[in-house]
Amino acid sequence: MAQTGLIFPGFAEPAFSGSLLILYRSVHGDPMTDFPRGRNIPKQMIALCHDRLNAKVSPGTFADHYISLWKSARDNGDFSLNHQDRTILRAFDEIFTASDSYEPIKKDRDEYTIGETELDAVINRALTVIKKSGSGWQ
């Protein structure tokens, strides 16, 4: 059974073992060694966004993982960009806000929560902004 909360609060690595776990970690990294250091967290966040848009990650898993990465990037100073890159920071923040507002159950949504379609639209718009910025984080 997968453990939750060790590295990513509420995020469980799939309950794979053996070669499947090795394959999973080769694609997604090993949360025990790759998080929060060892990789560029904003690039991890962008890769996670691409995985979401390509339906490799469920919206709920995406939201939990992205929020954890965003908080770590903020706390570790990975967003220490110069003043000209405020649009990039806003793009990352928009994805964070959308992730925090995600509600998978339609009947439980209110005016402040969004569904999968809206989450994906925010991710797509933000990635376009990041790509146009020429930051190299694509």
pLDDT tens by residue, the chain, 138 residues = 444 444 444 445 455 555 555 555 555 555 444 444 445 888 899 999 999 999 999 999 999 999 999 999 888 877 765 445 788 889 999 999 999 999 999 999 999 999 999 999 999 999 999 888 876 665
Identify whether the C-beta of residue 133 lies closer than 8 Å to the C-beta of residue 85: yes
Q: How many other β-carbons are positioned within 10 Å of the β-carbon of residue 33?
A: 11
Query: pTM of whole model > 0.85?
Result: no
Please state which of the four CATH numbers 1.20.120.650, 1.20.140.10, 3.40.220.10, 3.40.47.10 is assigned to the domain occupying 38-132.
1.20.120.650
- What secondary structure letter does DSSP report for 16? -
